[in-house]
Structure 1
Amino acid sequence: MLVRFTPNVLLSTAIALSVVLAAVMLGLAMDQRWLGLKLEAEPRLAIPVSFDGLWIDAIEQDSPAAEQPGAGIPASVASLVEVAGSDGRRVRLEPGDLVEEPDALETYADMRAFFARQDEIAAVLRSIGGVELGVAFLGQTQTYSVSPGRQRPVSSLPVAFWMQIGVGLAGFWIGAWIWALRRGEWATRFLLVAGAGLMISAFPAAVYSTRELALPGGLFRVLSTFNHIGALTFGVGMIGLFLVYPRRLVSPRWLAVPTVVLGAWQIVDIRQLAGGPGLGFHLAVVLAMLTIVILVAIQFKVTRGHPRDRAALAWLGLAVIVGAGGFVVTVIAPNALGIGAVVSQGEAFLFFLLVYVVVALGVARYRLFQLDEWAFRILFYVVGVLLLLALDAILIVTIVDERAPAFALSLLIVALAWLPLRDMLARLVLRRAEPARGNLFRQVMDVALTPPGRDQQARWRALLEDAFRPLSIAPGKAEAPALIDDGLALAVPGPRGLPDYRLDYAGGGRKLFSLRDAELAAELTAMLANALESREAYEKGVAEERERIARDIHDNIGVQLMGALHSPGLARKDMMIRETLTDLRDIINNASNPDLSFDEMLADLRSQISEHLFAAGVKMKWTVENAGSAILPLTAAHTVRSVVREAVQNALKHGQPETISVTVRLEGDIIKLSVTDDGAGFDPGSVQAGNGLANMQARVTSLGGRFNVASGAVGTRIEAEFAIDVARIAQ
């Protein structure tokens, strides 16, 4: 059934359940008779003093103890030695009544006596009609009548309470977050188990370790039991995690062993079958911690030769050893040895927060559990929804009575505060150091404009180094940008003849490559491919333009100068040279007369050809069919003139004909040309074609036409036909 739910739904459900459980813990913490006294087992004074009972460190303002009649209970100089109920029950108080963690007692019998005493004190405080407080001051005991508050205010709960609740929530949320994204993997399941164990352990401890004086004995016993269950559950989760992550050490059937062993130990603790909590609970926790350390060491050995797994282990293993180990060293181990906790249990729970904060950062930097930056989008989304609901509830309770305005105001606050904060957190957590796109674009253009060769390859390599800052870069083979070994390396193909590269260890070896890096590599290669293609197209255009100019000079200018050379009259020579200069300008500009009248162009061409043939003493037959007043595109006009001129020039130069016939026919959108002479022919198969024939053929075929040469003893015939743009013909 879980497979059907999205990660958002699963994470939201887990958060909702944990918040409900936290609310229950808050209710239990507040459901105490409240005096308003801040009591200490040992006074925090520079000079030690002897006293009986519990030291009164301070009295909270607006509390029942502060409002009692008379001179008032003295603070910081007196002690609370006794509480008495209206029914006559009296309990003498001892420093042991404020023990923060009952499993620090030596035996289970001591724990049972402690719970019984707590129950007795709580019963006195719940007496109808108020209680009497026996306060010792300067050797004298004075009685004060106080009516305890029926409920402890939220504001009186110490910071330690909220710290433990916060640590429990953070551990469970992060575990649920990673599990929701990879719930089919054993590693994330064990991480969720550890997070749930931390919450189950921290929540009850938050209630009983921050009590004012006493809790009902039965409730205290249940909370302490769940604290033990949560601690061992955390151990099961962490042991199971390092059995399978980052490398699997055992087969799946052995994964149940930690649960069986620690579960049996938990039964011994609950049934109080051991000599005391030191053996029944503390020893189990210490051994679980040692097991975790041993598994981390084994994982360190088996990940040799696997840098990605070694990096994940170093990050996660160190966090667990420092975090969980710090709690064991400062709280569990000292209690097991009977010397007492080094620091407050509420403060020591912050060690566990370190574990889960490091896990979240590890997802961002080392892609722990094969997660990437996209995982944070889900986390930020769910947190935003949670903030919206929390603000809505707070506003309804405190300021705004109606639901709709409260929700609208909550939505506005979240939009103005959370969204910018989310982006800031993303930058801090994910360390997004995007390379300057303008600089990358300039480098791409530098690579594209550098002539092919070593310099271009060197610039391509420098571009990749600046964009990704890999620890090493080496030639590779890639079809497309892709992550290798789950981000250990990045394969980048070289566009259009540039070498492929393999980039290892992003950010100078400080992180793994992500999907964002692969997307950037794809963007750079596509950009460079387009730039190289544009450069090649430009160079091809330049080459074609040079070739066109060379053909035009050979076909047109050469023919006209040859005609001028053979012209007998100076006036005619001058005229033909002037026309040649005009044609030369047209060839260079290629822009004059973009659209030419077909019949006018043919008339000019006939005049030029007839002069050439007249000067050479050759007869001409000129035939034009269906030309009319059609408008001829510039390329077609150049092709007609070049083919006719070159064909006539070749006949004069090589054939020594008596007559040359020129036929031009327009059939629909097809132009057909034919130049025939009666001179000495040649064998097209045995004679190497010169620039003239090659240029004519190139011009015609570039327009998609056909070109043919037929020659023999009776002369030579050159034929060409090609299509023109029908839409540009105007009758």
Structure 2
Amino acid sequence: MAAKPGQCTERPKSVPGRTAVLPWRLAPGIALFAAVALSMIFAGSMLGLAISRPWLGLGLSPFAPVAKLQDEGALWLTAVEGPAARAGIPPEPARILSIAPLGPGAAGGAVLLTGADIMEEPDVLPSHAGMAAYFARQNQLAGLMAEPVELHIAALEEAGSDTPPPTAVYRITPERRRPLTSLPAAFWMQIGVGLSGFWIGVWIWTLRRGDWAARFLAVAGTGLMASAFPAAVYSTRELALPDPLFWALSSLNATGSLTFGVGMIGLFLIYPRRLVRNQFLFVPALVLGLWRLADMLEWIDGPALGRHLAILTAMGAIIVLVGLQFRATKGDPRDRAALTWLGLAVIIGAGAFVTTVILPVALGVSAVVSQGQAFLFFLLIYGGMALGVARYRLFQLDEWAFRILFYVTGVLLLLVLDAILIVTVIDERAPAFALSLLVVALLWLPLRDMLGRLVLRRREPQRGALFRQVMDVALTPPGHDQRAIWAALLEGLFQPLTLSPLENATQSSITDEGAGLVVGGVGGLPAYRLDFADQGRKLFAPADVALADELRAMLTNALESRAAYEKGVAEERLRIARDIHDNIGVQLMGALHSLEPRRKDQLIRETLTDLRDIVNNASNPELSFDEMLADLRAQISEHVFAAGMRMEWVVEGGDSVILPLANAHTLRSVVREAVQNALKHADAGLVRIVIRQGDDAIFARVEDDGKGFDISADYRGNGLENMRARIIALGGDLSMISGAGGTRIEARFPFGAERRRR
């Protein structure tokens, strides 16, 4: 069997005389949990680095708190807490001038501070020498923060004042560790983005470990995590980090960025269509890896060429490959839909980060948004990828993949919550675990179901409407009309791109790995093949097979019920014919030959009584409103469909009641007469019948789309006068409207005194 694009087809080779040994592999759920646990350890180490530094309690910003202050390059104080608040520093905005060591043994003097000291990303500097000097300065400041320091602060200038603002000196004793609460939102955003990208990438890889596309996706997720985690530490530092740590984190960030590029380039080289052979898949890794090595060895002149140009090149390659894949998937709606979803997510997510952060720096201007905020753009990629799995079965995954993901997430939440409770609230492990289990059961499990419905977009069809549609198929006489209604039902429910009849298919099944759905034939109706569900936006799933089988079962029961009904009608007709032949004929013949008037009248009255009993079936003289309408619809539909017309039958509201015989006969007569006129004279294509049961009256409307007639000229010649007479006799009213667009007859009459609930 031919391999699918991007799918590994290698199998373990067997040795003669030996049994082939399969490589040992973890189950998908366990493998995913192990990868998630490792990523949590990595995230914990980054968190440990972030809070292990001494803390002064200063909120710092390179931007002036007041727009009119244009002192470019200054470092501004925006908030104080902890040690700074205890040192008496007022919380008002001010400019920080310098920092100096305290104590007789302190070496060196005051160090002037600038806004550049807290820049998010040092690779914006023009050269490697500039970065080295910056790391050396950071190392000096980090050494000062480890001991008590003096901070020189200048208040803001007063408007219109020519005198310099007053300067104050404050002595701060730093805390040895930075508290968790002092970490800004940007830190947690970058950690969250790194975890999300890695988890989704590894999630798909654990389920399709032999697929090169899934491997490259895991590489990209790993690169995103390796880029976002260290950036979270150094971009949200309070003031400084020691040189070796800062350099290592910055280098890891750059390596992770290019690793993400390698993964995405490799992904679009083979997904959804393979563009190159396996031996060429490692070219992007080789090129970007050598580029990164040259940058680390400072063989390239500055970060602009060593880092930014490499990222821009990788982004350009991704865009080109998406374009090539778009051309390669021409004529394949399934692959084109998957590519459109995934390609747009990557181009918009990664492109937005490059456009707002990397490209401006490469051009020598400031980034448009903060790097910590820009990392949120990557959520567009991986959030879109998760939705793509649900909507288009990207990488041939289906809803079962989400069950594994939700299971691992639930276990992870349980363990994390247990650890938090032990550290913060409860000392004993057993009560903490029990409380964690209770919280997860009460919160996560309902939330998991809600997320499943939201992400997977499960659209459960309304069973009531579905049953009515199936009944429309069953009540339509066999032939082309019934086949057309059945095909329309399937098309409306699954919305395929194409629908075609099949021969000799008795079972429902998925074909072409989700591209097609076969709905087996039932009750003389042909089987159908449906291609590309939801107008080509998704593939068929096992749930669609179950729905198709449910439809077939409902239709089978409905057709059997219709056959039983028709059999009963035939038997009833035979009974009526037999009774008329045996009784009515004899009595009428006796009345005809009777010479005595009183005897003749008596025979006629008895004949009428017998005829009424025969027609209404004396063994069951009363029919409910619903049963009477069912009989009426069955009778009328035969005439309508036999004439080649379409019929719409609508019944609205009401309880199950029993009508008086006269009222039921009037309703049947009015509807029959109106439909008969439409069949004979209207030359219509559609007859619409609406019957509504109100609180105290019955409303009936029969309308067609025929040629109409002149009421004033034809009124007394077409039986409409008899209809009016019957309605008026019951205390109701009848109205008629006719014209070029068709004819509408409306009747309304009360239930009558004998109305009873069933």
TM-score by length of 1: 0.71
Match of 1:221 among 239, 242, 247: 247
- Conserved? CA contact 2:55–2:174, under 8 Å: yes
Task: Compute the displacement of 1:65 (Å).
Answer: 0.5
Query: Does 2:224 match 1:198?
Result: yes
* Alpha-carbon distance in 2 for matches of 1:101, 1:443: 63
Deviations 1:224-278 (A, max 9, x none): 0100110000000000000000100001110010111111111111112111011
- Conserved? CA contact 1:171–1:196, under 8 Å: yes
Letter paired with 2:245: L
Q: Name the structure 2 match of 1:119.
A: 139
Q: Name the structure 2 match of 1:359.
A: 385
Task: Compute the displacement of 1:53 (Å).
Answer: 4.7
Q: Name the structure 2 match of 1:76.
A: 93
Query: Does 2:549 match 1:522?
Result: yes
Task: Compute the displacement of 1:400 (Å).
Answer: 1.9
Q: Name the structure 2 match of 1:341.
A: 367
Task: Compute the displacement of 1:503 (Å).
Answer: 2.2
Q: Name the structure 2 match of 1:88.
A: 107
* Alpha-carbon distance in 1 for matches of 2:219, 2:557: 51
* Count of residues in correspondence between the two structures: 547
Q: Name the structure 2 match of 1:48.
A: 69
- Conserved? CA contact 2:60–2:77, under 8 Å: yes
Q: Name the structure 2 match of 1:65.
A: 84
* Alpha-carbon distance in 2 for matches of 1:3, 1:442: 54
Q: Name the structure 1 match of 2:48.
A: 27
- Conserved? CA contact 1:82–1:135, under 8 Å: no
* Alpha-carbon distance in 2 for matches of 1:51, 1:313: 47
Letter paired with 1:427: R
Letter paired with 1:456: Q
Change over 3 Å in CA distance of 1:543–1:74 after alignment to 2: closer
Task: Compute the displacement of 1:531 (Å).
Answer: 4.6
Q: Name the structure 2 match of 1:465.
A: 491
Query: Does 2:128 match 1:108?
Result: yes
Change over 3 Å in CA distance of 1:379–1:52 after alignment to 2: closer
Match of 2:480 among 439, 451, 454: 454
Q: Name the structure 1 match of 2:17.
A: none
Letter paired with 2:304: G
Task: Within 5 Å, give how 1:580-591 maps onto structure 2.
Answer: none
* Alpha-carbon distance in 2 for matches of 1:6, 1:531: 46
Task: Compute the displacement of 1:43 (Å).
Answer: 1.0
Task: Compute the displacement of 1:383 (Å).
Answer: 1.0
- Conserved? CA contact 2:142–2:242, under 8 Å: yes
Query: Does 2:275 match 1:254?
Result: no
Match of 1:273 among 299, 312, 317: 299
Deviations 1:76-128 (A, max 9, x none): 1332422324313332222221111011100000000111110111011113x
- What secondary structure sits across from 1:247 in the alignment? coil
Query: Which of these two proteins has the greater Rg computed from alpha carbons?
Result: 1
Task: Compute the displacement of 1:132 (Å).
Answer: 1.4
Change over 3 Å in CA distance of 1:263–1:52 after alignment to 2: closer
* Alpha-carbon distance in 2 for matches of 1:510, 1:45: 51
Q: Name the structure 1 match of 2:588.
A: none
Deviations 1:518-576 (A, max 9, x none): 2211232244345545666787899999999x9xxxxxxxxxxxxxxxxxxxxxxxxxx
Match of 2:528 among 501, 509, 513: 501
Letter paired with 2:421: L
Task: Within 5 Å, give how 1:556-567 maps onto structure 2.
Answer: none
- What secondary structure sits across from 1:497 in the alignment? coil
Deviations 1:421-460 (A, max 9, x none): 1111112111111111233234334434443222322332
- What secondary structure sits across from 1:491 in the alignment? strand
Task: Compute the displacement of 1:142 (Å).
Answer: 2.8
Query: Does 2:540 match 1:513?
Result: yes
Task: Within 5 Å, give how 1:650-729 maps onto structure 2.
Answer: none
- Conserved? CA contact 1:53–1:92, under 8 Å: no
* Alpha-carbon distance in 2 for matches of 1:32, 1:123: 10
Query: Does 2:122 match 1:136?
Result: no
Deviations 1:117-164 (A, max 9, x none): 10111011113xx11112233444432111001111100000000000
Task: Compute the displacement of 1:486 (Å).
Answer: 3.5
Letter paired with 2:248: V
Q: CA RMSD in A?
A: 2.7
* Alpha-carbon distance in 1 for matches of 2:262, 2:56: 41
Deviations 1:182-230 (A, max 9, x none): 1111111111000000000000000000000000110000000100110
* Alpha-carbon distance in 1 for matches of 2:86, 2:249: 32
Deviations 1:486-506 (A, max 9, x none): 433322122132112222342
Match of 1:409 among 418, 435, 438: 435
- Conserved? CA contact 2:73–2:116, under 8 Å: no
Q: Name the structure 1 match of 2:458.
A: 432
Letter paired with 1:363: V
Deviations 1:358-402 (A, max 9, x none): 000111111111111221111111111111112111222222222
- Conserved? CA contact 2:99–2:151, under 8 Å: yes
- Conserved? CA contact 2:334–2:538, under 8 Å: no
Q: Name the structure 2 match of 1:301.
A: 327
The runs of at least 4 aligned residues of structure 1 exceeding 6 Å deviation read: 537-548
* Alpha-carbon distance in 1 for matches of 2:455, 2:73: 52
Q: Name the structure 2 match of 1:725.
A: none
Task: Compute the displacement of 1:406 (Å).
Answer: 1.4
- What secondary structure sits across from 1:136 in the alignment? strand
* Alpha-carbon distance in 2 for matches of 1:25, 1:146: 26
- What secondary structure sits across from 1:215 in the alignment? coil
Letter paired with 2:555: L
Deviations 1:449-495 (A, max 9, x none): 44322232233223313432334433235453233444333221221
* Alpha-carbon distance in 1 for matches of 2:96, 2:362: 30
- What secondary structure sits across from 1:33 in the alignment? coil
Query: Does 2:308 match 1:282?
Result: yes
- Conserved? CA contact 1:52–1:81, under 8 Å: no
* Alpha-carbon distance in 1 for matches of 2:67, 2:177: 34
- Conserved? CA contact 2:496–2:535, under 8 Å: yes
- Conserved? CA contact 1:81–1:136, under 8 Å: no
- What secondary structure sits across from 2:544 in the alignment? helix
Q: Name the structure 1 match of 2:628.
A: none
- Conserved? CA contact 1:73–1:144, under 8 Å: no
Q: Name the structure 2 match of 1:98.
A: 118
* Alpha-carbon distance in 2 for matches of 1:17, 1:360: 21
- What secondary structure sits across from 1:324 in the alignment? helix
* Alpha-carbon distance in 2 for matches of 1:522, 1:5: 36
Task: Compute the displacement of 1:281 (Å).
Answer: 1.1
The farther-off stretch of 429-438 and 501-510 is 501-510
Query: Between the two proteins, what is the percent identity of the paired residues?
Result: 62
Specify every segment of 5 or more residues in structure 1 that has no aligned partner in the other structure, as ranges.
551-731
